[in-house]
Structure 1
């Protein structure tokens, strides 16, 4: 995040004070924003701050709440594995083979796209952790009428 602020600040200073805008700062800021956004999504899932509709989850108790929790986490993990990890890995491999580089920085685009399978793997791990936590709550009778969705 600090690198993003420094990059954007330098872009502003070089453009308006020096009248010579840097060509690489906008591209760096864009790539950093992508990384922050995608990794932030996986972190939000971990701490259960992602957007979700919990109307049904709030009304369920016990085994039904636990079953819904497992189902939701399984769907999320399946999506993260299939689309983000597998699809993202194919994207990284393809851009690596094609030797695609960013125009201003000359950075291999495979490095930029690496965040997709990385975040997908993290989301999958967090979904498994959520299921384990939900199972412990269910086993101990601490669901308070809700699953851990």
Structure 2
């Protein structure tokens, strides 16, 4: 499982680099077209908005994998290792529940809702379901990463010397 998540991690890094580079290019073109050419581009404005959605969702999955999400550890830093482990397991189980139930199942419902009576974006004229597909995909990634963290935490021995 570790090799699979490491591969997904590398692909996620590459995807975020491509998305970030593309949004910078879009916004740069938008500013140039608006102020120099006096003709703003609605296509790049909409594309930048959609890219920001994808960067936010896939960036959240990547941040969770790296353990760099914002967190308050003032309470857990004072806990004994056994209690810290229980708090970490509870935290990761909560993330797993939210990602699987809200993001994956809710995201699939959202995609289906916007694909069936075909909701089309104004400028790019693509189905909004494709844009919203980032929700269940990133939820699936977060779920996978949560399962890995839970497994690693359960198989890791408790350091009883600190108890």
TM-score normalised by L of structure 1: 0.88
- Partners in 2 of 1:65 and 1:2 — Cα distance? 39
For residue 94 of structure 1, what is the aligned residue in structure 2? 113
State yes or no: 1:141 paired with 2:159: yes
Kept after mapping to 2: 8 A contact 1:62/1:143:
no
For residue 95 of structure 2, what is the aligned residue in structure 1? 76
State yes or no: 1:128 paired with 2:152: no
TM-score normalised by L of structure 2: 0.81
How far off is 1:143 after superposition? 9.8
Q: Which runs of 5+ in 2 are unaligned?
A: 1-19
Q: Secondary structure at the match of 2:75?
A: helix
- Choose 127-136 or 104-113, whichever is displaced more: 127-136
For residue 57 of structure 1, what is the aligned residue in structure 2? 76
Q: Which runs of 5+ in 1 are unaligned?
A: none
For residue 11 of structure 1, what is the aligned residue in structure 2? 30
- Partners in 2 of 1:133 and 1:81 — Cα distance? 19
Structure with a larger share of its residues in helix: 2
Cα-Cα RMSD: 1.9
- Partners in 2 of 1:102 and 1:143 — Cα distance? 59
| TM-superposition CA deviations, 1:113-137 (whole Å, max 9, x none) | 0011111111111111111222243
- Partners in 2 of 1:47 and 1:109 — Cα distance? 30
- Choose 14-23 or 111-120, whichever is displaced more: 14-23
- Partners in 1 of 2:49 and 2:71 — Cα distance? 27
- Of 17, 32, 40, 1:21 maps to 40
How far off is 1:144 after superposition? 6.7
